[in-house]
Amino acid sequence: MHITVKGKQIEVGEALRGHVEDALTAAVGKYFSNPLESQIVFTREAHLFRADISVHVGRGILIQGQAAAPDAYVAGDQAVEHVAKQLRRHKRRLRDHHAYDKADDAAIRAVTTAARDDDVESVAPAPAGQPVVIAEMDAEIPTLSVGEAALRLDLSGRPALLFSHAGHGGLNLVYRRPDGNIGWIDPPADGAAPRPTMRRT
């Protein structure tokens, strides 16, 4: 695995670099034999050191971990442990992945129906100085089952994942709800009635 360790506005010494590289290599090696690459960035936030780790363990699979502590070594170790926890969870879910495959979309839809029933509040345009919209020009839209998309969303720690539904090819979205559950949006084709439930065998 190719590992890049760098600092933003701080100097990362060879001892810290070697320590975190060794710890990350050991943690990732327990779960993946051929990870692609990893990046570790140390920054200073007031009296704390922050460590952010991104590990590409396979195509389209990104695992992230972060931690902050008064000592850079402690922050690095805690961020590595965060990554290791994500990897353990991912491996456990991979073992249980057949359960996702055997579940049909209707079962997952039933869990997330509440997301569609929430009242939608009108949103006024954001005033000047609010967050900027950034185009993700090189975004890849993977073809996945709903279960795979939920697994990948949970693994990445991102708020949402757009994907092409493996069953019917339409664009779908899974996202992290405020209550911690995963919501799923499966819009019908333009002007069409809602899609029938697709049962997996």
Map out the domains of the chain with their CATH numbers.
2-95 (3.30.160.100), 97-116+138-201 (3.30.505.50)
CB of 51 within 8 A of CB of 77?
no
How far, in Å, CA of 180 to CA of 185, rounded? Answer: 16
CB of 109 within 8 A of CB of 198?
no
**pLDDT of res. 191:** 53
**pLDDT of res. 87:** 82
What are the pLDDT digits (tens) for 131-145? 656 556 567 788 998
CA separation (Å) from 114 to 111, 162, 171, 177?
Answer: 7, 19, 20, 10
| Edge-to-edge strand ranges of the sheet holding 2-8 | 2-8, 37-45, 48-58, 61-69
Burial of 197 (0-12, 13-18, 19+ CB in 10 A): exposed
**pLDDT of res. 168:** 86
What are the pLDDT digits (tens) for 152-161? 887 777 889 8
pLDDT < 50 positions in the chain: 100, 103-126, 196-201
